[in-house]
Structure 1
Amino acid sequence: MSVETSPNNRLASLPTVRSVDIGRPFAWLAAGWRDMCANPIASLAYGLLFAIAGDLITIFAWRNGQIFIVATSGFFLVAPLLAGGLYEISRRWERGQKSTFIGSLAGGRRNAIELAKLGLLLGFCGLAWERISSFLFAFLAPGIVPDLLALLAEIHLSVEHRDLLLIWILAGGIQALLVFSLTVVSVPLLLDRPATVGTAIRASLRAVDANLLPMIVWGVIVVTLTALGFLTLFFGLVVLMPLLGHATWHAYRDLVE
């Protein structure tokens, strides 16, 4: 394992970023599983909340495709922030301390203002995605009601509709990649030490830049497990979200000095 040093004085205040092997994401998953097994009640409580939120979105927004898409994508865009309690559980367990669900919520008070700023940024990303989706539908398929369900219902009718779906997926993937790069270590960093949101985001971007292949593997794991949670009508998130949350803490500890 090599260590990347700050290239100039302007970045001297940033945490040092490590380079890791391509297989390290699987070690993060294993460590996350151990944390979850050591703190099952508090961890699974978070997973249950994620699952309930996903099911409530489905129940109340399913008939309106646009609202469903915005609510679901927005929920998972801010998921790294919502998982802050899981990072706190892992942080305490690393120090030999057990956690309760209520006790883990206290971690957010240590750097509340900077975490709130990051939350606003993620909320803006969610709003931007809704606007991008509406623009794509209005520009490329003005005859379709601007939601994914309507597009899926008519996709077999023309090549243009299939092209719109591909463009929509590509645009969503680019934004998801951006959010992933901004948050992969920034939230646990803000929970772990006094830092500004700008410092945390720059550290996260540098971690991705220094570990491109491991981050691709980690991103694929996150997307795959999240998709599995969707396919189980969100009930799989009861276990999968705590697993990913705890693993993200270990990714942060591995990547940032």
Structure 2
Amino acid sequence: MGIQHISANKIHADDEFLIRKVPIHIIPDWLHSGVTDIHLGGRASLFYGIFFAATGILLHTIFAENYWLLAGLTTGFFLLGPFLAMGLYDLSRRMEAGEPPALAPTLMAWLPNLINITLFTVLLVCLFLSWVRLSMTIFSHYFHGALPTFTDVVINVFTFKQPVFLLVYFGTGALFAAAIFSISVIAMPLMLDRNTSAWTAAITSLRTCARNPIPMLFWAFCIVVLIGFGLATNFLGLMLTMPVVGHASWHVYRDLIEVKN
């Protein structure tokens, strides 16, 4: 993308990685790269898109009558997105290196750094379960212990019948999402690419967000819009939007992190 002119700051004097400061207008380039990789990845990219869509549909089918639980599971499921998209990162990495877009190698992309990726995934799972539990608690509290129907939820969302409920629920969800985004947006691709420790990857991701607050805020907004579109289309749109996010996230990492030779 012609980013050689972008300045880079050391994380520490003895660190292996440098963090670039990027302009906000680079975001369309990331999205374009994601779409391009879908085209190049072909069936391999489509496989991951179908996986995300099928998982969303499965969750909705199983918990269709329990919207108070479905809301937490659906949104919480995407908290695990950074791990579940590992195959898409690896697919982009392999195509960038000139390799053919094969699905099979990407399914085991996490094996070379198994321990650290597992540790980080455990953290994501703990946050996921915490959010699901908290989501259930919030629903139970504001609906007086009763299990709300889908109609109840829709009425509260669109009529602001319980504005405090909306504020607490979406505010808490936003905090969880911001925390996950900050520690993982760079971490998973970095662990995949450089076999770094989970701690180094998480800290690097946090510092990258701190160095590029506005671009990363808008990138997070793009992710929300893309995933929101997928959810709004009964999960079918996830077949396209999740591969875009996954592939583009690899290019986000490549543009933001410079590895010292």
- TM-score normalised according to structure 2 size: 0.90
* Sequence identity (%): 33
The question of 1:15 aligning with 2:21 is answered no
The question of 1:166 aligning with 2:167 is answered yes
Partner in structure 2 of residue 177 of structure 1: 178
Q: Relative to 1, partners in 2 of residues 1:211 and 1:49: Cα closer, same or farther, differing over 3 Å?
A: same
- When the two chains are superposed, the root-mean-square deviation of aligned CA atoms in Å is 2.0
CA contact 2:66–2:147 (8 Å) conserved in 1: no
The count of corresponding residues between Structure 1 and Structure 2 is: 252
Deviation string 1:102-129 (CA, Å, 9 cap, x unpaired) is 1211321111111111111011111211
CA contact 1:14–1:203 (8 Å) conserved in 2: no
Q: Secondary structure at the match of 2:98?
A: coil
Gaps of 5+ in 1: none
Partner in structure 2 of residue 193 of structure 1: 194
CA contact 2:40–2:101 (8 Å) conserved in 1: no
Q: Secondary structure at the match of 1:224?
A: helix
Q: What CA distance in whole angstroms lies between the structure 2 residues aligned with 1:222 and 1:70? A: 18
Partner in structure 2 of residue 70 of structure 1: 72
Q: What CA distance in whole angstroms lies between the structure 2 residues aligned with 1:154 and 1:18? A: 45
Q: What CA distance in whole angstroms lies between the structure 2 residues aligned with 1:3 and 1:18? A: 4
Q: Secondary structure at the match of 1:17?
A: strand
Q: Secondary structure at the match of 1:16?
A: strand
Letter in 2 for 1:236: G
Kindly state the Cα deviation for residue 164 of structure 1 after the two structures are TM-superposed: 1.2
Kindly state the Cα deviation for residue 138 of structure 1 after the two structures are TM-superposed: 4.9
Match of 2:38 among 36, 60, 63: 36
Kindly state the Cα deviation for residue 193 of structure 1 after the two structures are TM-superposed: 0.9
Gaps of 5+ in 2: 1-5
Partner in structure 2 of residue 236 of structure 1: 237
CA contact 2:87–2:109 (8 Å) conserved in 1: yes
Q: What CA distance in whole angstroms lies between the structure 1 residues aligned with 2:143 and 2:49? A: 39
Q: Relative to 1, partners in 2 of residues 1:228 and 1:154: Cα closer, same or farther, differing over 3 Å?
A: closer
The question of 1:212 aligning with 2:205 is answered no
Partner in structure 2 of residue 155 of structure 1: 156
CA contact 1:138–1:146 (8 Å) conserved in 2: yes
Q: What CA distance in whole angstroms lies between the structure 1 residues aligned with 2:151 and 2:130? A: 21
